[in-house]
Amino acid sequence: MLSDSLRGLDLVGRYKSAEQTEAIEAEAVRLFLKARASDAAEDWSEAYAWVALDPAHGFAFAKAEAGWELSERLAELPTGQIDDAVISPSIAPATTGDGNGRPSRGIVFDRRTALKWGAAAAFAGVAGTVGLRYYGTVDHYRTALGETRAIRLADGSIIHLNTASSVEVALRDDVRTIKLLQGEARFDVAHDKHRPFIVDADGTHVRAVGTIFNIRLRPDLTELTVIEGIVAVENRGSPVRQIGSGRSAAVRGGRIAVNKLDPAKLKQRVAWQDGMLQFDGDTLAQAVEEFNRYRAQPIVIGDPSLASLRVGGTFHIDRSQDFVTALESSFGIRATAGNDDSILLVAAE
């Protein structure tokens, strides 16, 4: 069957686990039945908003819709007409008369088989329509190590790319889809209620209409910071969460942990967009990690006892030497430059 052959594969080619697929399909059925029963605009809007979060959602919703249509058509058959042929349709050779008493062989469809194949074709058409929303011309943008860049899109939205980051952008008449492939980006979304703005960041899907938010792909999680407005977030079959301005979310493995940020912390999160790095009680290890994102050769902590030192201050992202000088004057740290332009930090004698 079509649904079996595509089970676990969403419309942009990413595989999901059996558990994730089952959760998505169950939610698709729930939303479809709820909207169909009430036929209320708000219920259909809720369903379509969920569909827009992930191509896999659209596939599952189309599957639920096609399944319901099939069940309705089968209910119209006379009693006794529904048998195993409905579940396992076949196109079988049949013997018919040619009008002269001689048998002739051909292919015939009984009513049950025709219904089944018709529903499958309808499903394929619906799924294909959903899938087309996620294909078409894709633009690629990237930054080199140490580079930041602002890209103005045709719809008026702006993507600010941090160092060593890349995105794919597809703008269509009904949806705007962006895939954050690497690094970090801030999204200033132009308002367009008819075209949701959806960012896919390593399986985390963020949906917005007109808002500003920042996403960073860390090695162990996806970090979301909402600067203005509200976004909807889903990760690998999780329930959709609404996250408002001044809040952040750490997302991993289908879990979304939301935290409120004080103004100073929010400013620190987005300082890179002004070419700055801010620290306020961060560990030396955390500060060094941030600077190394912009350096071709790393700053290395040579004495593990230094890693937990708490540091503060504001520095230009391309002037890490100012940071090193501050460490030497305030913390008794000795910095040694390597022949490869790396910097080794050790305790001063």
Record: fold of 275-347: Phage tail protein beta-alpha-beta fold (3.55.50)
Mean pLDDT of 181-210: 92
16-34: per-residue pLDDT in tens? 677 788 888 888 888 888 8
What are the residue ranges of CATH 3.55.50.30 in the chain?
275-347
58-84: per-residue pLDDT in tens? 778 777 776 665 555 545 545 444 344
What are the residue ranges of CATH 2.60.120.1440 in the chain?
139-266
The pLDDT-based confidence of 107 (bands split at 50, 70, 90) is very low
**Of 18-32, 88-102, 196-210, 278-292, highest mean pLDDT:** 278-292
Q: Helix axis angle, 284-292 relative to 320-330, nearest 10°?
A: 160
pLDDT greater than 80 at residue 299: yes
Mean pLDDT of the chain: 78
Strands (E) in 109-229, as ranges, are: 139-142, 149-152, 158-161, 166-171, 176-182, 184-188, 197-201, 204-208, 212-217, 222-228
- Stated pTM of the model: 0.63
Is 277:267 a contact under the CB 8 Å cutoff? no
> Which range, of 113-117, 146-150, 173-177, 271-275, averages the lowest pLDDT?
113-117
Report residue 175 as tokens. Answer: 């949806």
Residue 92, pLDDT score: 37
Alpha-carbon span 30 to 314, nearest angstrom: 50
139-266 CATH choice from 2.30.30.40, 2.60.120.1440, 3.40.50.10860, 2.40.50.140:
2.60.120.1440
> Which range, of 22-31, 305-314, 336-345, averages the lowest pLDDT?
22-31
Q: Beta-carbon neighbour count of residue 9 at 10 Å?
A: 14
Q: Beta-carbon neighbour count of residue 243 at 10 Å?
A: 22
> Residue 151: beta bridge partners?
159
Residue 131, pLDDT score: 41
155-180: per-residue pLDDT in tens? 999 999 999 999 999 998 888 999 99
Give the residue from 167, 174, 166, 186 showing the smallest Cα distance to 136: 174
Report residue 294 as tokens. Answer: 């912009």
Mean pLDDT of 262-284: 93
Residue 93, pLDDT score: 38
Q: Cα–chain-centroid distance for residue 254?
A: 12
Alpha-carbon span 258 to 138, nearest angstrom: 32
Contacts of 41 (CB under 8 A, 6+ apart): none
Question: Backbone dihedral region of 332: left (phi > 0), alpha (psi from -120 to 50 degrees) or beta?
Answer: left
Alpha-carbon span 99 to 107, nearest angstrom: 17
